[in-house]
Amino acid sequence: MKGMKRTIVGNIKLLKLIKPQPGWSSATRDILLSQIKSQCTEIHANTSLFQGARVYLSGYGDTVIRFTLNLLFGRPQNAVCSLLGVSLIAFFASIIANSSLPGEPLYSIKITAETIRSSLVTPDQRAHLEMERADRRLEEMRRLFAHATLSEDEKTEKIGNLVDDFSGNLANVKKTLDSQAPLIEPAKVSKVAALVNQKTEEYDAALSVGTFSGASPAKKQLLDEKLETAKNTSDAASRKALALLVEKKSAGGISEEELLGYLEQKFKHAEEELLLLQRRVSAAGASQMLETGVREKSDRAKKMLDEGKESLAKKDFKIALEKLNLSKDMLFTALQDINKENSLRDADQKDRTNQEAQEEKGTTP
Amino acid sequence: MTPLVNEKIIVYKIRQGDTDAFGQIYDFYHEKLYRFVYLKLPTAQDAQDITAETFLKAWHYIHDQKHIANVQAFLYQIARNLVVDFYRRRGTAIVESIDDQEIVIADRIDLTLEEKMTLKSDMARVENALRMLKDMYREVIVLHYLNELSLKEVARILGVSTGNVRVIRHRALKALKRMLGEEKES
């Protein structure tokens, strides 16, 4: 039995030859160390030695001896995390990882580092980090859009994946606001909510960029659907942020003037969207039924907006926000009706074109 | 296996933000961790990602002043949890081709080409068999025989008793023997 066992064990030990490639090992080491060095500098730049010692003590019940050691031998956090010792390789590796695009070798390291950071910061920082990640996804989309060597189909697919990640980041922002807002002080919540409100407006504009004309119809349609999902997610985060701003105003988290400013801007955008919708349905040569339907909905949306503005004037912010959201819902359904009719019309046109082509060839459908 | 020398001092330095100290942890453990997760995951790429993520998580945990009794056990626990998360995200994993296995046979300059091919083939056979074992069996085999941890250290990582590990080891070897169809040595 012992002899048999040795044979088995001998075979098992062959697998000790399984190792990572040396290139990967050293590159990962450099990237990891540079990532943590840069995070270390960022997080600890303003931490005093006293604060560091207090955190060290209060979290984990360390003894007086350790506390004394820390005071005597510890160095200020920002000095320890000085970048003086960073090797050139680590520096460039970090830059390369941070500037990598989907499909490139170091991209997975970049994403991994982002994920870890997001999961280990405080709740009020988490929303910030997720928005930073969303910003990076947008930047990557822009760079992919301008990429010289990728085909339109490849670009569409990669951008589609980035849009998914972007939607995920915004969903996390909303989730963080939902779960953490009751636990954090009103002023901090308002600050985060204000940032979310501002950022989601930028995202709406960025996501309205056109898709690639050269891509295959199926990929184009998929990308359009993903962009629509991303816009909806962004809108959900924006609505949550506004609701929090209204809620925290009563708790002193935000001033009346600031809140009035945010809401007035939202109303202004909603009115612009309403106007665009009305022009769009008129210019598109829409069917009578569609035009009537859209007009009804846009009239109702306009009514909601007017009522909302009256409430805003009376400083009844909660009602104003409700009316704004109802108006936006109405505009959204009207837009969906237009898109639906356009799709049917396009499909119809395509069938007719195919039929004509076949008739010309002399074949029967 | 000789533990990393002065591990407690290294951990203390990491808590102070000394990233070079963390580099020492990486240097000492990364190959073993990689091997451990490689045999649990479908591809080498996945193993690389999980290994990198393990170290990042470990850094943050240590640097955030959280208590760690044993760095080695801690790293393996993180890696195990990440593998669980990996499969939770991906659904039931299908073990893909092992053609991309990271075998550094090139180091073995003492072998002829034919010997290297035989070695590679033997390794593939053993690796296949190991991947078909139950997860716990595989973990014990990898940690004890490949990563050279004592039964006590393995027990600490897996959260079971040393006696339990001994039994699992026996059963794992028996299962492997059955799969590999090994014959009794005279």
Q: How much is the average pLDDT of A163-186?
A: 82
Residues of chain B contacting A5 with CB distance shorter than 8 Å: 173
Do B27 and A29 make contact, defined as CB atoms within 8 angstroms? Answer: yes
The CA distance from A289 to A294, in Å, is: 9
Q: Which residues of A touch B180 (CB under 8 A)?
A: 8, 11
> Is A8 in Cβ contact with B141 (below 8 Å)?
no
Q: How distant is the Cα of A356 from the closest Cα of chain B, in angstroms? A: 47
CB contact under 8 A, B23 and A33: yes
Q: Which of A115, A172, A169 is closest to B53 using CA atoms?
A: A115
ipTM for the predicted complex: 0.84
Q: What is the pLDDT of residue B93?
A: 46
Considering only residues A244 and A123, tell me which one the structure prediction assigns the higher pLDDT: A244
Nearest CB to B34 within list A20, A36, A116:
A20
Give residue A102's pLDDT.
Answer: 80
The span from the CA of B45 to the CA of B100, in Å, is 9
What gap in Å lies between CA A115 and CA A138, rounded to an integer?
17
Of A106-110, A295-299, B102-106, give the lowest mean pLDDT range: B102-106
Helix, strand, coil shares, percent, chain A, to 5 = 85, 0, 15
Largest CA distance in chain A: 96
Confidence of residue B153 (pLDDT cuts 50, 70, 90): very high
**Do the Cβ atoms of A319 and A308 come closer than 8 Å?**
yes
Question: Where does the pLDDT of residue B68 fall: very low under 50, low under 70, confident under 90, or very high at 90 and above?
Answer: confident
| Residues in Cβ contact with A52 at an 8 Å cutoff, skipping those fewer than 6 apart | A44, A70, A74, A76, A77
Distance of CA A212 to the CA centre of its chain: 22
- Spell out which residues of chain B touch residue A74, defining contact as CB-CB under 8 Å: 16
Eight-state DSSP code of residue A121: S
Mutate to test the interface with A, among B11, B15, B19 (most CBs of A within 10 A): B19
Q: Are B18 and A80 an interchain contact pair (Cβ–Cβ within 8 Å)?
A: yes
Chain A partners within 8 Å of B119 (Cβ): 14, 17
Q: Is pLDDT of A336 > 50?
A: yes
Highest mean pLDDT among A3-7, A12-16, A82-86, A281-285: A12-16
B74: its two tokens: 């801690």
How confident is residue A20, by pLDDT bands cut at 50, 70 and 90? confident
Q: How would DSSP label each residue in A157-193?
A: HHHHHHHHHHHHHHHHHHHHHHHHGGGS-HHHHHHHH
Nearest to B126 among A15, A28, A31 (CB): A15
Q: Which of A40-49, A180-189, A296-305 has the lowest mean pLDDT?
A: A40-49
Interatomic CA distance for residues A193 and A127, integer angstroms: 9
**Cα–Cα distance measured from residue A294 to residue A272, given in angstroms and rounded to the nearest whole number:** 16
- Contact at CB, A29 and B64, closer than 8 angstroms: no
DSSP string, A31-82: HHHHHHHHHHHHHHTT--HHHHHHHHHHHHT--HHHHHHHHHH---HHHHT-
Q: Looking at the DSSP assignment, which residues form a beta bridge with residue A18? A: B103
| Residue range A121-163, pLDDT digits in tens | 666 677 878 888 888 888 788 777 777 677 878 888 888 888 8
Look-up of token digits 């669980």? B84
**What's CA A17's distance to the chain center, in Å?**
42
Q: What is the mean pLDDT of residues A170-187?
A: 80
Q: Which residue has the higher pLDDT, A17 or A251?
A: A17
B18-50: pLDDT as tens digits = 888 899 999 999 999 999 999 999 888 889 889
